[in-house]
Amino acid sequence: MLKLLLVSHSKDSLRGLSSSLSGKDDIELEMSTSGEEALTRLSSKTVDLVVADEDLGDMTALELSKRLLRINPMINCAVVSSLSPEEFHEASEGLGIMTQLPRQPGMKEAEILIRTLKQIQGLLD
């Protein structure tokens, strides 16, 4: 079972991703509405992937990723970002972010995320 934490203060931003992932037998989804809430949750619980919206209200997704490294550097993280790929690479270098997601990711991004996560964890041949 893959455990995912979606972090967003906007109900709509990750809705497509959430609806694409919910109901799958091998995925457990949780939600946090702020970066601080996510960090508190992650300090006592392990998840396989954190998906963070670009603006979390109390911090950016990149700031969450940076702070997450101090709690557990082994947690995979995907970040919604409107930066160009080059700008994103520069801004996220050293943060161990698995991938950049477009605004309002949906089914296509969900499938890619899960396939990539399963490959990282050695769950796919």
Domain boundaries, the chain: 2-120
- What is the per-residue pLDDT for 124? 67
Decide yes or no: CATH 3.30.70.100 for domain 2-120.
no
- Tens digit of pLDDT for each residue in 81-106? 999 999 999 999 999 899 999 999 99
Report, as an integer, the average pLDDT of 105-120: 94
With CA atoms as reference, report the closest residue to 114 among 31, 9, 10, 21. Answer: 21
Contacts of 84-92 with CB under 8 Å at 24 or more apart are 91/62, 92/62, 92/65
C-alpha distances in Å from residue 105, one per residue of 12, 64, 82, 90: 10, 19, 12, 22
- Tens digit of pLDDT for each residue in 13-57? 999 999 999 988 899 999 999 999 999 999 999 999 999 999 999
Q: For the chain, how long is the longest CA-to-CA vector? A: 40
Report, as an integer, the average pLDDT of 64-82: 94
Q: Which pTM was predicted?
A: 0.94
